[in-house]
Structure 1
Amino acid sequence: MAVVLWIIALLMLLLTVVDPRQLWYATTAWQFKHPEANEPSEASFAMGRVLSGICAAGFGVAAIATTASGLGPLTQERLDTLGRAAASELSGEYYKYASPGVTAIEDAIGRDDVVVTEGRTVTEDAGFGESYGIQEYFALAGAEDDSVAGCLEVSYDGGLFHEGDIDVDVSYGSGSC
């Protein structure tokens, strides 16, 4: 997300710096039989520069805020926010024999200072030929401070006889599993 904000901010800044008249001729003038007669006024070009500058500043501030929030030290509040976002991102349909694992969770968390370990797996009993409920637990802990902890619970119905894709529900809880 921060990368997208940085790209938009840089593009808007570039539009602020570029000569608006040349930009108009490069992008819009081709539509007119006599482009010189339809050229926007100086005030229009100036307003475009001002608006591009304001947009560049706004996207720049958003990009800085997003980048700074990801660079700060890991706290329980920050891990909770990341854990809830990861749970939301990881919920959904998966291939019949797949579910989010440690690597997918690490990618969803997006920080190197969070250690993800696979915990216990609970399987509900089911009759022969039926799908059974599965719950997998993944512990999240700070690499430098293990008192910062969280738990992702992955729940789905699966097994050898489950037909089609599986619908995975992921929830996050603050504290250890």
Structure 2
Amino acid sequence: MATVLWIVAILLLVLTIVDPRQLWYATTAWQFKNPEANEPSGASFALGRVVSGVAALGFGIAALTVTVDSVGPLTQDRLDSAGSSAAGDLTGAYGKYGSPGVTAIQEALGRDDVEVREGRTVNEDAPFGESYGIQEYYELRAADDDAVRGCMEIAYDGGLFHEGDLDVDATYTSGAC
């Protein structure tokens, strides 16, 4: 996310710096039989620069905020934000025998200062030959502070006799599992 914001901010900044008249000739003038007669006014070019500059500033501030938030010290609020976002990213379809595990959760969190540990697994009873409900719990803990904790629950119907892909539902809650 931060990378996309930085790319857009830099692109808009470049558009602000580049000569708008040359940019117009390079991208739009070809559409007109007589480009000189259809060239926008100087005020139009100036307004385009101002709009690009303001947009670049806005995207730059957003990118800086996201970057600082992701590299700042881990607090409960930051873990909760990262955990909720990761739960959204992990929800979806998985292969028949695959579900998100420790590695997928760590990648979705995008932070090196969070330890992910497998917790308990709860299997619902089901008749022989049918798929059954599974809930896997993962404890998220700050590497530096044991008080900062979260719990990721991965729920799906699976098992040996489950047909097709798994529809995984991931949820995050603040605090220990």
Q: TM-score, normalised by structure 2?
A: 0.96
**CA displacement at 1:141 relative to structure 2:** 0.4
Deviations 1:73-120 (A, max 9, x none): 101111111111111211121111111011110011100000011112
Distance 2:162 2:22 in 1: 62
Partner of residue 24, structure 2: 24
Q: Partner letter of residue 110 of structure 1?
A: G
Q: How does 1:75-94 map to 2 (within 5 A)?
A: 75-94=75-94
Partner of residue 159, structure 1: 159
Calculate percent identity across the aligned residue pairs: 69
Distance 2:52 2:62 in 1: 15
Unaligned ranges ≥5, structure 1: none
Partner of residue 42, structure 2: 42
Q: How does 1:1-177 map to 2 (within 5 A)?
A: 1-177=1-177
Unaligned ranges ≥5, structure 2: none
Q: Partner letter of residue 146 of structure 1?
A: D
SS in 2 for 1:162: coil
Matched positions, count: 177
Q: TM-score, normalised by structure 1?
A: 0.96
Runs of 4 or more consecutive aligned structure 1 residues displaced over 4 Å after TM superposition? none
Q: Partner letter of residue 73 of structure 1?
A: P
Q: Partner letter of residue 135 of structure 1?
A: Q
Distance 2:163 2:69 in 1: 42
Q: What is the root-mean-square deviation of aligned Cα atoms in Å?
A: 1.0
**CA displacement at 1:125 relative to structure 2:** 2.2
Distance 1:44 1:173 in 2: 51
Q: Partner letter of residue 35 of structure 1?
A: P
Distance 1:29 1:171 in 2: 52
